[in-house]
Amino acid sequence: MGGLVLVKKIIPWVLLAVMALYILTGFGITQFRTVEAITFGLLTKNLSFKIHNALTIPFAVLLAAHIVLPYVVKKIRKT
């Protein structure tokens, strides 16, 4: 039970980090000149596209966990 509560606290922060990276890489695809300048050439258009595509499944899993986990914890506490 204690581990589940810890996971419930960690998931929103990890989801926030993934969302921020997802948004940044999205801008890296569409506004690549600006993002390359801001990141000193570290985040190129090609790298942004690869990271953006790789984050799709983790984003969906974390979002689903963020939505469903409170109901699971509530159900476990009732029993």
For residues 30 and 59, give the distance between their C-alpha atoms in angstroms, rounded to a whole number: 20
Q: State pTM to two decimals.
A: 0.83
For residues 3 and 68, give the distance between their C-alpha atoms in angstroms, rounded to a whole number: 16
Tokens found for residue 62:
């974390």
- The confidence band for 75, taking pLDDT boundaries of 50, 70 and 90, is confident
**Is the alpha carbon torsion for 20, 65, 74, 3 positive or negative?**
negative
**pLDDT tens-digit readout, 35-72:** 999 999 999 999 999 999 999 999 999 999 999 988 88
Mean pLDDT of 11-32: 96
For the chain, domain boundaries = 2-78
- The confidence band for 3, taking pLDDT boundaries of 50, 70 and 90, is confident
- Of residues 1 and 2, which shows the higher confidence score? 2
